Amino acid sequence: MKIALIEPRPPINVYFFLTNLPLLGPVFLGTILKQAGHEVKVFKEDITSVYNPKTDELHPYLHEADAIGLTAITHTANRAYQIADAIRRKYPDKKIILGGNHPSALPGEALDHADHVVVSEGEYVVKDVFEGNIKDKIIHGPRVNIDDVPPLDLSLLQGYKRKGDRLKMKHAPIMASRGCPHDCIFCSVTQMFGRKYRIKDPDLVMEEVKMRYNEGYRHLFFYDDNFAANHEKTKIFLDKLIRAGLTDLKWSSQFSVHVAKDKELVQLLKRANCRTLFIGVESINPEALKDYHKSQSVKTIKESVSTLNKAGLKVHSMFILGADSDNADTIEKTIQFSRDSRSSTVQFSILFPIPGTQLYDMMKEQNRIYINDWDYYDGSHSVILPKNISPIKLQKKLIHGYRYFYSRTIVHWLASRIGFFVWKLLNTKYMKYIRYITRMLRKEGIIKDGIRTFKGFRTETLPRSLNKALMRKKEIIRKEV
C-alpha cells in the first residue's frame, strides 16, 4: 500500500525557528507503517506543499497514494480540512485519516472531513487503521509503552535538502519521554498523552542518539514536554550520554523551572552538553501563576533562571500574557523581567484556549471566545475576552514584549521590527476586527461576571471564519442577543 502522511502548514508561521523541525507523530507512524511493508512518504508542508488551492492541484504522490493521513494541531486544522476535502472531492475512494491534538479534542468536527479519526496516541492502532482492520469511524488509541516506539526514520521526510547521508536539518528530532505530571489549564499535553510521565529506557534513547550522531547530526532537539520531570531517571540517561564521549554533540529540550533546584542535575546537564533549556516561566505575576495552575512561585522562577545562567546554560524563557489576574502593569513587569533575567532568548504568547484543555472548556462556558477561526489559535493573536485589559492593548503588549527584549543588538532590533511589520501586513483583517471589538466594548459593553462583554453574547453563534465574522460583526454584537 502507498501511504502519504501530511503535516499541514500553519497560515502564519510565528515560530519560524521551528520551520525545519517536523511533528513527531507523522514520522513515528510512518516508521511503523514502513516496517510493516508499506511505501510511505511524509510531507511537512513548510518544506513541501501538497495542495495549491488557487490551482486546485494536489502533489503528484497524492494521486498515487492509496491512503492519506493528516496530523493537525489547532492552528493547522483548517488547512488539514482543506487538503482532506480536496482529496475527497478529487479521489472519493481514497481513505483519509485525521489525527493529532485537534482532531483528538474535536473528533466529531474532524470526521466531517475524513473516513476515520484517531484520538490520542496512534502507534498501536495505525497499522490496523490503514490496512482496514478497524472499521470504527472514531478510534481511541491506547496509551503506548514508549519503549515500543521505534527510532524515527527521517528518510521518510520529503523535500529536505541532503547533506551527505543525512537530511540538511540542523537539529535532529528525538524523544526520551512522553506526558507531563502537571496539569496547566492551557496545555493540551495531558489531554493527548495523560499525566503519567513515561520515560523511555535510557539504553534505547542512547541507541538513537548514537544513530543520529553516526549519520552526521551534531545537534539534537528532544521533543519531551518536560525533559527532566523525574530527576533521578534523567541523571541515569545524562550519565550514559556523558560516558559516550560525544563531546561535539549539543542538544536542547523543554524543562520545568524545578530542574534548577537540583544542583547535581544542573551540573550533569552542563557536562552532557545541553545547549538551551526551554523554560515555561509564563509570568512573574503570582496571581497569574495561580490562574494557570502552575506549581511554581515567582521566587522559584527567579532563582532557577539565575542558577541556570550561572551554570553557563542558555535559557529560552517562555511567557504567556493575558491571565485573568493580568493587567497592563503586571504584563509590563513580566516583559521587563524577560530582559532582567538575562535569558538568552524569549518567546511571548497571548493566552489562548486549545480545544481539549481546561481553559477551552472554561472560556466556552463563559462565552468569552470572540474569534472561532482556528487559524488564529497560535499564541500570537487574542481570541478570548481578557478580564483586566482590552483585546487590542493585550495584542500591543505582545508586540512590545518582543521589541523590548530583542532591542539589545542592532541585528535583533531590526529583526523584531521587520518581523512584526510583516506580521501586521498578514493580519490586517484580524487587527481591524479586534480594534472594532475593543471600540464596541468601550461603547456598548457590559460587565458580566467581572468580564467586559456584550449583552447576550454567545461563543457558539460565532462563525468559524474570521472573514465571515468581519462581515457580520454588527450582527454578532447587536442582533444575536
Is-contact 395 381, C-beta < 8 A?
Answer: yes
Q: 440-451 pLDDT, tens per residue?
A: 999 888 988 889
Q: Which residue has the cell 460587565?
A: 447
Position 190 scores a pLDDT of 84
| Residue pair 346/319 in contact by the 8 Å Cβ criterion | yes
Return mean pLDDT, the chain: 94
> How distant is the alpha carbon of residue 68 from its chain centre?
22
Q: Which residues is 252 bridged to in the sheet?
A: 221, 276
Closest Cα to residue 67, out of 140, 133, 153?
Answer: 133
- The pair phi, psi for residue 198, each rounded to 5°, is -105, 125
The three grid cell numbers given for residue 446, joined into one nine-digit string: 457590559
Question: For the chain, what percent of residues have pLDDT higher than 70?
Answer: 98
Residue 476: count other Cβ atoms within 10 Å of its Cβ. 22
Q: Which helix (H) or strand (E) holds 362?
A: helix 358-365
How far is residue 415's CA from residue 469's CA, in Å, rounded to a whole number?
32
Q: How does pLDDT run across 380-427, given as a tens digit for each residue?
A: 999 999 999 999 999 999 999 999 999 988 888 888 888 888 888 999
Find all residues with CB under 8 Å of 416, minimum gap 6, and list them: 402, 403, 406, 407
Q: What percent of the chain has pLDDT over 90?
A: 82
What are the structural domains of the chain? Answer: 2-147 (3.40.50.280), 170-351 (3.20.20.70), 366-388+406-481 (no CATH)
Sorted by sequence, the CB contacts under 8 Å of residue 134 that are 6+ apart come out as 116, 125, 128
User: How much is the pLDDT for 480?
Assistant: 42
- The tens digit of pLDDT for each residue in 463-473 reads 999 999 888 88
- pLDDT-based confidence at residue 17 (cuts at 50, 70, 90): low
How far from 113 is each of 70, 94, 95, 105, CA to CA, in Å? 11, 12, 11, 15
Closest CA to 183 of 231, 235, 232, 229: 229
How many CB atoms lie under 10 A from the CB of residue 192? Answer: 22
The amino acid occupying position 170 is K
Rounded CA separation 231/308 (Å): 16
Tens of pLDDT, residues 35-54: 999 999 999 999 999 999 99
pLDDT of residue 15: 67
SS3 211: helix
Average the pLDDT over 92-96 and give the result: 97
pLDDT at 473 (0 to 100): 80
Residue 282: its H or E element: strand 274-282
pTM of the model: 0.95
29 or 471: whose pLDDT is higher? 29
Q: Residues 394, 370: contact at Cβ < 8 Å?
A: no
Residue 479 has pLDDT above 60, yes or no: no
Q: Which 3-state string (H, E, C) describes 325-360?
A: CCCHHHHHHHHHHHHHCCCCEEEEEECCCCCCCHHH
